[in-house]
Amino acid sequence: MKKNYFKVKNLAVFLLLFSALTMFTGTYAFAMGRGDSNFMKHKFMRNRKCSFNVFMLKRKLRLTKKQVRQIIIAKKEKFKALTANKGNLRNPMLNALKSGTFNKSVFVSDLTNNVKSKAEIKADFISKFFNILTPAQRNRFINLIKNRIKNRIKHLEFMKKMLNEKIDMMKKMQGNLAK
């Protein structure tokens, strides 16, 4: 009788602790990890694809507050122009296949027009950006871009070396398996 009492009591304590732990972890997960929380998301850092980080440039180019505001406004204008341009973009594949066969010239012209319109918008932004900078800041910016390109080339050469080594290793393994 006493053994059953202790088993029931231990089971009740275990269930109570387990339910409390589950509720705590569930509440914590709900609060922190739903994916739509604003935890660690700064309003200017939402777009991770953007390689034109205004606050990095502010520090490296020593921009004034007025210049930062002007650049942010120019970026917003560029974004608005790109989103407005999305409605004007043509789907080159659909237009090329309209007649039932593939029309290469229609595909190339539509794709060229799409790229050209995007490039014009980006070029407008870069010209506005350069007009905001002083001559010394322009030189610093050009040096930053050159260094970024050099570092990217070094990284790509390193990756090429690593891939070639992996290919050689796999060829050796394949040769060993064939024996």
Locate the domains of the chain by residue range: 54-133, 137-179
Best mean pLDDT range from 38-47, 51-60, 113-122: 113-122
What is residue 45's predicted lDDT score, i.e. its pLDDT? 47
Instruction: Count the Cβ atoms, other than its own, within 10 Å of residue 121.
Output: 16
**Residues in Cβ contact with 122 at an 8 Å cutoff, skipping those fewer than 6 apart:** 78
Instruction: Identify the residue with better confidence: 177 or 146.
Output: 146
Give the chain's mean pLDDT. Answer: 80
Residue 37 has pLDDT above 70, yes or no: no
Q: Note the pTM of the prediction, 2 decimals.
A: 0.56
What tokens appear for 1 in the block? 């009788």
Longest dimension (CA), the chain: 91
> What Cα–Cα distance (Å) separates residue 118 from each residue in 28, 32, 90, 165, 169?
44, 38, 12, 39, 43
Please state, in angstroms and rounded to a whole number, the distance separating the CA atoms of residues 78 and 82.
Answer: 6
Q: What is the token pair recorded at 37?
A: 């929380």
Residue 1 pLDDT:
54
Residues 6+ apart with CB under 8 A from 103: 95, 96, 97
Percent of the chain whose predicted confidence (pLDDT) is above 70: 77
Cα–Cα distance between 54 and 150 in angstroms, integer? 21
